[in-house]
Amino acid sequence: MSAASNALENHILNGTLRGYASPYSPPLAANIKLALFSGPASDVLAALEAGQVNTDSTANWGHYEINNGSYARTQITFGTDTTTGSISNTANCTFPTATANYNNAAGSGSTVTCIAIIDEGRTSDGSTLAPNEVMYYGLLSNSKEILNGDTFQVATGNLTISLA
């Protein structure tokens, strides 16, 4: 996964190159969650890039996020500081067992096609709490259908974020 949302790209550029008066404040580790999405990959990825969360339109990523079957975004943990330009998850990221076939507001069905790392903790200026800023996102290398009784998991080391 190497795609960063427009919002995160702006934070990085402003904070590192402009000496921004209100620099980007990284989220608390507890607020970094992995989210699952179903739908045509090109539509989901375009919506994640735009970063809009409203669920009433196909241009908004909330339209494609799984929203049933006991689904809940799940905390994901990354390792120590990197010196290689990439970082991987250091623990299994296991979602709750589905109590129904996965689906979303778009009615895209139960096949997870994309994932995103979401900052659930604050607004873009870093000063107040307001959830749901997309940080990184990408296409699964193997889409996975999640039906009633299934559990989605990203095993330790299987999700790598790279800026190199």
pLDDT digits (tens, 9 = 90+) for 99-128: 999 999 889 999 999 999 988 875 555 555
CB-based contact 114:139 (threshold 8 Å):
yes
Q: What is the predicted pLDDT for the residue at 33?
A: 93
Phi, psi of 57 (to 5 degrees): -150, 150
What CA–CA distance (Å, rounded) separates 109 from 39?
A: 7
Q: What is the pLDDT of residue 21?
A: 53
Q: How far apart are CA 32 and CA 30, in angstroms?
A: 6
Q: Residue 16: its pLDDT value, please?
A: 64
Share the mean pLDDT of the chain: 83
pTM of the model: 0.85
If one compares 131 and 27, the residue with the highest pLDDT of the two is 27
Confidence (pLDDT) at 91: 94
Determine the pLDDT at residue 2. 59
pLDDT in tens, 20-44: 555 556 677 778 899 999 999 999 9
Percent of the chain residues topping a pLDDT of 90: 47
Compare 136 and 147 and report the one with higher pLDDT.
147
Pairing of strands 153-154, 93-94: antiparallel
DSSP state of 156: T
Per-residue pLDDT at 72? 95
Structure-block tokens of residue 65: 């996020």
Q: pLDDT value at position 82?
A: 74
Among candidate residues 95, 111, 108, 125, the one with its CA nearest the CA of residue 10 = 125
Which pLDDT score, from 0 to 100, does residue 95 have?
98
pLDDT of amino acid 150: 97
| DSSP states of 35-99 | EEEES-HHHHHHHHHHT---SSSTTSGGGTBB-STT---EE--B-S--SSSEEEB-S-EEPPPPS
Radius of gyration of the chain from its Cα atoms, rounded to whole angstroms: 16
